Structure 1
Amino acid sequence: METRSNHVLVGSVVLILLAMLALFIVWLARLSGGDERQYDIFFKQAVDGLSAGSAVNFSGVPSGQVKEISFWAPDPSLVRVRVSVKPEVPILEGTTASIQGSFTGPSTVQLDGATKGASPIRCPEQNPKAACPLGVPIIPTKQGGLGALLNSAPRLLERISTLTERLSELLGDRNQNSIAGILANTNRLTRALADRGPEIAATLAETRIAIQKAGIASQQIGELAATTNGVLAEDVKPTIANLNKTIQAAGRSVETLDSTIGDARPGLQAFSKKTIPEIGQLIQDLRVMSTSLASVAEKLDQGGASSLIGSPKLPDYEPKKK
């Protein structure tokens, strides 16, 4: 019984010591990494050479490590990388992440672009699930130098292949003949220009002389315009002054004529109201008198002077014989 009791006691003590050791290890892990801050980075590119434990550098300074790499279920084209960095690293607004590849070693996560005076990257208080779906802030990404080159290498090779095919088509047998003809025509044109060199030089000289003459003519036109302005200023001004005086005199004459008509207006009104009706009556009386005189003249012609004194003699009546 005593041996069995000793074994149980020893086992219990060992279990207690193992539990205390495990708690101590967990405490040390929390003590060493409890102050580190974690961020998620969503890369839309291959993360070749990157693995858990890879270094995280801020502007080239070692600042943390990669904790986890996994696919992002809502969007399979994205790769989620969880990183932890030291608390003194300035992860501010404007900071971006990229993958720095290497031909000789593992890739690293490069952080840079922090702006002085900017606020730290953190999850917003309102609607944090939308900005931080896994509960930690997200650092935006940018294409790294070597990573971008490697990612664009297939497209670059495809374009180079297309360019090579088009160059092959351009330099085919038929196109080579065309290019040879173009070069031959160019040579003939060059020789013709060389033969016409003296004529071209003479033409350029004549053109230069014509331009000089045009400049002289424009200068003379300017002088003529200045002279014309002077003549107009000296000769036309006195004429305009005399014309102004004539216009003023005509204005005064019109004013005098208006005043004269105003003075004669009462007499004209009396003439039109009294004299004109009397003249009309006189003309009517003269018409009556002329009618009477015409009647007297007619009587004198028909009956003589006696017709003016008495009535005309009636003819004798004679009865008709049966």
Structure 2
Amino acid sequence: METRANHLWVGVVTLALIAGLAIAIVWLAQLGRGTQKEYDILFQQSVSGLAKGSQVSFAGVPVGQVSEIRLYEKDPEFVRVRIAVKDEVPILVGTTATIQGSFTGVSTILLDGARNGAPAITCETTACPAGKPVIPPKDGGLNALLSDAPLLLQRLATLTERMTQLLSDENQGEISGILRNTNQMTAELAATGPQLRATLGELEGTLAEASQALDAFEKVTNSTDKMINQEGQALAAELRSTLRSASAAADSLSATLDDARPATRQLTESTLPAAEATLQDLRATSKALREVTERLENEGAGSLLGKPPLPDYEQ
């Protein structure tokens, strides 16, 4: 009986020592970590690979660990990850959180992007939906690639299917025909090489002649411009003198017409009617003289002195 009681006390003491040692280890660990601050990160993506106790690093330096992972109560599309980091770590406005995955399946949280001089992330500078300041997330790293892997595989399968359709037996035959036609066209083009060279030579000669013609035309144009510039002024001066003389002659003619208007009016009103009457008298006199002349020719001079004979009547 006594032996069994001793064993019982030994077991109790051993358990007490183990519990004390565990408590001391936890206390030393908490003491080594120092004061910590907690933040929430709301990820709208898979957080596979993260677990309670996963490492949190700032610019590659370990600064804390994940303390809690659960679905966001207000919106189940998000996963709320709570992290605890050392108090001296500068979690400033502009800091973002990224899930850094690996091929081993273990993921960590990477903090980066703090700006010097920016205020610290607190409930005063950001939202605190679960009582802790929120660090905004950012897609990136291997985790984002793995999250998009199903979509990439689907697109790769679609691309493979379309490539299979493109490289079907029928399409391969058509592609082979196109290649044969291309080879034939290349051979024909090579055969017509001498003709092409001759044509190009003629084209070069034509271009040279055209260039010479353009040079000659440019010279003629320059000569014409020179003649116009040198003799044009003299011609213009003579033309201006001629126009001035014509203008003076027109003015003189206008003045002459103004002076001749009264004489013309008198001629029209008095002289012309008198002349017309005189012409009528002359016509009558001429007619009488013509009649006298005809009588002298037909009847003689006696017809002018005696009476005209009586006509003979037959009995």
**Both structures adopt the same fold (TM-score exceeding 0.5):** yes
Aligned with 2:224 (options 205, 224, 228): 228
* 2:245 is aligned with 1:240: no
* Structure 1 residue ranges without an equivalent (≥5): 1-21, 284-322
* 2:64 is aligned with 1:64: yes
Structure 1 residues 51 and 248: alpha-carbon distance in aligned structure 2, compared to 1, 3 A threshold? farther
In structure 2, give the amino acid aligned to 1:115: R
Cα distance in 2 for partners of 1:122, 1:214 equals: 82
Structure 1 residues 246 and 47: alpha-carbon distance in aligned structure 2, compared to 1, 3 A threshold? same
In structure 2, give the amino acid aligned to 1:241: A
Cα distance in 1 for partners of 2:186, 2:202 equals: 23
In structure 2, give the amino acid aligned to 1:87: D
Cα distance in 2 for partners of 1:188, 1:32 equals: 80
Match in the other structure for 1:114? 114
In structure 2, give the amino acid aligned to 1:44: Q
Aligned with 1:172 (options 168, 190, 193): 168
Match in the other structure for 1:152? 148
1:67 deviates by 1.8
Match in the other structure for 1:16? none
In structure 2, give the amino acid aligned to 1:229: D
* 2:44 is aligned with 1:48: no
Cα distance in 2 for partners of 1:223, 1:70 equals: 92
Structure 1 residues 95 and 225: alpha-carbon distance in aligned structure 2, compared to 1, 3 A threshold? farther
Q: Secondary structure at the match of 2:170?
A: helix
1:99 deviates by 0.6
Match in the other structure for 1:100? 100
Match in the other structure for 2:6? none
Q: Secondary structure at the match of 1:53?
A: coil
Q: Secondary structure at the match of 2:148?
A: helix
Cα distance in 2 for partners of 1:218, 1:73 equals: 87
| Identity %, equivalent residues | 46
Q: Deviation per CA, 1:11-30, whole angstroms, max 9, x where unpaired?
A: xxxxxxxxxxx9xx99x969
2:33·2:86 contact (CA, 8 Å) conserved in 1?
no
Q: Secondary structure at the match of 1:92?
A: coil
In structure 2, give the amino acid aligned to 1:89: V
Q: Secondary structure at the match of 1:116?
A: coil
Cα distance in 1 for partners of 2:181, 2:144 equals: 47
Structure 1 residues 188 and 238: alpha-carbon distance in aligned structure 2, compared to 1, 3 A threshold? same
Match in the other structure for 2:38? 38
Q: Deviation per CA, 1:197-220, whole angstroms, max 9, x where unpaired?
A: 211222233333333333333333
Match in the other structure for 1:88? 88
Q: Deviation per CA, 1:23-44, whole angstroms, max 9, x where unpaired?
A: xx99x9699654x333221112
Structure 1 residues 178 and 255: alpha-carbon distance in aligned structure 2, compared to 1, 3 A threshold? same
2:40·2:134 contact (CA, 8 Å) conserved in 1?
yes
1:158 deviates by 1.1
Match in the other structure for 1:142? 138
Q: Secondary structure at the match of 1:39?
A: strand
Q: Secondary structure at the match of 2:74?
A: coil
Q: Secondary structure at the match of 1:192?
A: helix
Structure 1 residues 32 and 167: alpha-carbon distance in aligned structure 2, compared to 1, 3 A threshold? closer
Q: Secondary structure at the match of 2:136?
A: coil
In structure 2, give the amino acid aligned to 1:213: E
Cα distance in 2 for partners of 1:247, 1:74 equals: 102
Match in the other structure for 1:79? 79
